Structure 1
Amino acid sequence: MLQTWNSERRLTAIGRAALSVPARQALADRQLIPERTILDYGCGRGDDVRALERLDCRITGWDPYYRSETKLEQADVVLLTYVLNVIENPAERRHTLMQAWQLANTVLIVSARLTWEKSKVRGQEFGDGLITSRQTFQHLFGASELRDYVEEVTGTRCVSVSPGVVYAFKDDSARLSYLAQRIVPDAEWLASEDTTSAIAAVIDYVERRGRQPRVEEMPHPVAELLAHMKPNELRRLVRDSADPEKISEGAKRTTLNTLVFLVVELFQGRGPFSSLPFSVQLDVRSFFSSYKEACQRSDRLLFKLRDDTYIRGAMNASAVGKLTPTALYVHRRAVDHMPTVLRLYEHCASIAAGRPQEWTIVKLKHQGRATSWLDYPDFDRDPHPRILSSYHVDLQTLATSHTSYANSMNRPLLHRKHEFLAQDDPDVPRYRRLTESELRAGLYEHPHLIGTENGWEAELIRCGRELRGHRLVRRAAG
């Protein structure tokens, strides 16, 4: 039986100088937009409320201590930000989540502190958490535990969008639209001020997507400027002006994106054709003989994902990434250039446990199924960037782990930066020149020594060299 105790929950409401991580994520995912009403349920001191108001969001905040006078009303989006983990009574915790779910018309955004933060939370065990020295309570969730808990209470399939952040959609079509947006992102339309620029915007869309857009897919200004044109006339103009090679590449890219989306959808339970987002329905009609054929091809792709030999072959054939005896490492700028089955590999991991907001390189193991997102915040500035953190998910068990190197005195670092990128990346020539000069200087003669800061510095001294930006120079005497 749980001991009764009234924790000082108000003390967990910290002041923030910037948006919270979950609010930033939701903003980036276009869940917080001016057209939607937003409720911050358990808003604490209201810093997110004020920040989102400055971004023209229609938001209200309610908190039992700081804003109890706010009238609770339903909203399109409800934010439940770091609330569940401070409630010591499991029954009340569940009730709070259900109340937030009932207040949401479109999506409930739930966030909580995770188990990897345990070193930052000191206290005595109490119930299913800890009492801190400030007499506050913390229940730390596992990344998959949070999603499972929200799914169980709300009775709906949820999406882990990043570690510790879960979206629960009221309507399944909204969930699928979000997934489609992550996998088949809608590129920005070109600005249109007259008929000529509106036609140019449509041509650009056709070259990127590989098919003509429907009027319903066009931004309102574009549709308005082209309303006087007959559909056949617009199609003829596009056909005569668009680059056929770009259209072909766009069609190939959209076909592969659609297959990845259908596999990810199956990962969460595939619905009928009518449940697909409108643009994806049009992609299926344009690039497949039928929805059945598209599903069959996506099922074969999923089967390939389970085949170690096929995955290793795809990694060997990949035009991007650094292949080691255990894994393929790819920079985030090159991820879309990976073979389709490897893109699917990364997407499935992100749907299962959430992709962190800050990451630089993804690591895909070729035996078993495990993905890590590695953060090298100074990748572009530092010739040998140091790792800051790693987030790992095992796709077979869905177990997650997080490692921080922030306080490490001898961090791992990277070499041969050009190998992580696509060959047409503008930084590749500069990075390759540095690698070649380091090879000539003999810095890679002892590869087992250079993987950490201390070992690398020792080799630089041995070889009489030092770095100035991305240039290797002789070390000054003395």
Structure 2
Amino acid sequence: MQQTWNSDRRRTAIGRATLSIPARQALADRQLTPERTVLDYGCGRGDDVRALERLGCKVAGWDPYYSAESVLEPSSVVLLTYVLNVIEDPEERRESLKRAWELASTVLIVSARLTWERSKVRGEQFGDGLLTSRQTFQHLFRSDELRSYVEEVTNRRCVSAAPGIVYAFKDDSARLSYLAHRIVPDADWLASTDTTSAIASLVDYVEQRGRPPRIDEMPRPMAEQLAHLKPGELKRLIRDSADGDKVSAGTKRSTLNTLLFLAVELFNGRGPFSSLPLSVQLDVRSFFASYREACQRSDRLLLKIRDDAYIRGAMNASAVGKITPTALYVHRRSIDHMPTVLRLYEHCAAIAAGRPQGWTIAKLKHQGRAVSWLDYPDFDNDPHPRISSSYLVDLKTLKTSHISYEKSTNRPLLHRKHEFLAPDDPDAPRYRRLTDAEVRAGLYENPHLIGTETGWEAELIRCGRTLRGHRLLHRKED
């Protein structure tokens, strides 16, 4: 039976020239694929439906005003995009979420506007939300509130894909496949056109992963190119061709990635071994004595997050990032080079509250447990990039906060950019040369002044310097 929404909510349906943010996130996360059927439940004017059709998705849309004649049928994926915000009756809101969940056979993707958008909504208090100047309703969710709400209605452990976007999976296998995609890098197979190149690709995989693949892990064309070789021949070719040091490094990397995955899995609710993705099962069998041993080690790793001294020690030992008296700051290009316990720290925050789509630097506090994702959109081009926004999640309370600096006239900015990167980052030497030049010019003599735009500009003038790209020049006399 199709649900009838009593109030006129058509004014909340906006036209879009591109995919909505939740649909783009779901595409990036491989939840929307040509093999899956998709239902946009509450599709509004149908812009996402048309855009997904152009991308080859089998998608249908239903809306009580714009597409009420559409037949509601179960689908692999159900999108509930900014629907819960506009329902003023709490019971009807819950029933709409419940109905969307019933229609999803694999995953329900729920998105909602968040409380940090309050300044964009003009209206008066009405019930548990706002009655806007256009006579529409908006209930703004906290990020943690949205996740908890979806978990309560679906009775499932949910994952925050991004702030305001929550995935509820029908079974553990689908949820764990998603987590594995986020945590364990996919195999990057070299192109193979014949037996020789296929063997080279296989050897490269072994060096990267630390173990040979099972045949159903290989790309089908490559498996066919190697089908005439006996297993013993393949093992000999790998043994003779693979670099032992690279294989050892791959084994260590895969072992740590598996521990990271299992620890995040425990943080989000652990399932049986059979529910793990095939590649993770094979990693467990290859690198651990048993699934039990792997789980015990990952459990100990998760417990380490609570230990301030251990976390501070890991930060001091990290080969990447800038450490301050309160936190470690790491660029997103270098995040996977942190010690495993710090990667786990950041992943747990991301699973709980969603990692924002736009971010440049992760800030991990070493006292208390909180992660902030800071966005410096012009980091690569600006020698001293200005912050655009900050999104914080407190892991003890799961409360979140968001700060926008877009309207600020004196934004905080960065110095010593190379310190946020891995030492072997290709841009690090250029940034380091700029820092050295600025130190010699005396620009860091008053560190309390240079943290904001106006203070930094004043110091540049005082020292008679100006910047052209990442070059420090003498300022010309007026």
* TM-score normalised by structure 2 residue count: 0.97
Are residues 1:26 and 2:26 paired?
A: yes
Contact 1:321 1:329 survives alignment (8 Å): yes
What is aligned with 1:309?
A: 309
Tell me the amino acid that sits aligned with residue 220 of structure 2: H
Contact 2:172 2:271 survives alignment (8 Å): no
Tell me the amino acid that sits aligned with residue 362 of structure 1: A
Distance 1:459 1:301 in 2: 45
Tell me the amino acid that sits aligned with residue 29 of structure 2: D
SS at match of 2:310: helix
What pairs up with 1:158-307 in 2 under 5 angstroms? 158-307=158-307
Tell me the amino acid that sits aligned with residue 405 of structure 2: Y
Distance 2:285 2:411 in 1: 51
Are residues 1:475 and 2:478 paired?
A: no
Contact 2:188 2:205 survives alignment (8 Å): no
Give how far 1:161 is off: 1.0
Give how far 1:257 is off: 0.7
What is aligned with 1:323?
A: 323
Deviations 1:409-442 (A, max 9, x none): 0000000000000000000000000000000000
What pairs up with 1:349-428 in 2 under 5 angstroms? 349-428=349-428
Distance 1:457 1:34 in 2: 52
Deviations 1:144-186 (A, max 9, x none): 1111111111111111111000001111111011111111021
Tell me the amino acid that sits aligned with residue 145 of structure 2: E
Give how far 1:7 is off: 4.2
Distance 1:433 1:29 in 2: 38
Contact 1:322 1:329 survives alignment (8 Å): yes
Contact 1:7 1:135 survives alignment (8 Å): no
Give how far 1:276 is off: 1.6
What pairs up with 1:326-337 in 2 under 5 angstroms? 326-337=326-337
What is aligned with 1:462?
A: 462
Contact 2:320 2:338 survives alignment (8 Å): yes
Give how far 1:70 is off: 1.8
Identity across matched positions, percent: 79
SS at match of 2:145: helix
Are residues 1:12 and 2:9 paired?
A: no
Tell me the amino acid that sits aligned with residue 189 of structure 2: W
Contact 2:361 2:374 survives alignment (8 Å): yes
Contact 1:38 1:59 survives alignment (8 Å): yes
Give how far 1:85 is off: 0.6
Tell me the amino acid that sits aligned with residue 365 of structure 1: K
SS at match of 2:141: coil
Distance 2:182 2:423 in 1: 25
Tell me the amino acid that sits aligned with residue 209 of structure 1: R
Give how far 1:278 is off: 1.3
Contact 2:412 2:453 survives alignment (8 Å): yes
Number of aligned residues? 474
Tell me the amino acid that sits aligned with residue 221 of structure 1: P
Deviations 1:286-309 (A, max 9, x none): 111111111111121112111000
SS at match of 2:61: strand
Distance 2:189 2:67 in 1: 41
Give how far 1:268 is off: 2.0
Are residues 1:57 and 2:57 paired?
A: yes
Name the stretch that deviates more: 24-33 or 220-229.
220-229
Tell me the amino acid that sits aligned with residue 304 of structure 1: K
Are residues 1:47 and 2:54 paired?
A: no
Tell me the amino acid that sits aligned with residue 249 of structure 2: E
What is aligned with 1:136?
A: 136
Name the stretch that deviates more: 62-71 or 462-471.
62-71
Tell me the amino acid that sits aligned with residue 100 of structure 1: A
Give how far 1:55 is off: 1.3
Distance 1:30 1:475 in 2: 51
SS at match of 1:233: helix
Q: Which runs of 4+ in 1 moved over 3 A?
A: 5-8
Contact 1:305 1:311 survives alignment (8 Å): yes
What is aligned with 2:154?
A: 154
Give how far 1:273 is off: 1.8
What is aligned with 1:69?
A: 69
Distance 1:52 1:470 in 2: 42
Contact 1:7 1:136 survives alignment (8 Å): no
Tell me the amino acid that sits aligned with residue 138 of structure 2: Q
Distance 1:365 1:159 in 2: 23
Name the stretch that deviates more: 177-186 or 427-436.
177-186
Contact 1:8 1:135 survives alignment (8 Å): no
In structure 1, stretches of 5+ residues that fail to align are none
Tell me the amino acid that sits aligned with residue 186 of structure 1: D
What is aligned with 2:104?
A: 104
Distance 2:401 2:354 in 1: 12
What is aligned with 1:438?
A: 438
In structure 2, stretches of 5+ residues that fail to align are none
Distance 2:120 2:188 in 1: 41
Tell me the amino acid that sits aligned with residue 335 of structure 2: V
Contact 1:7 1:137 survives alignment (8 Å): no
Give how far 1:6 is off: 5.4
Tell me the amino acid that sits aligned with residue 332 of structure 1: R
Distance 1:54 1:389 in 2: 33
Distance 2:37 2:199 in 1: 34
Distance 1:54 1:187 in 2: 28
* TM-score normalised by structure 1 residue count: 0.97
Give how far 1:191 is off: 2.4
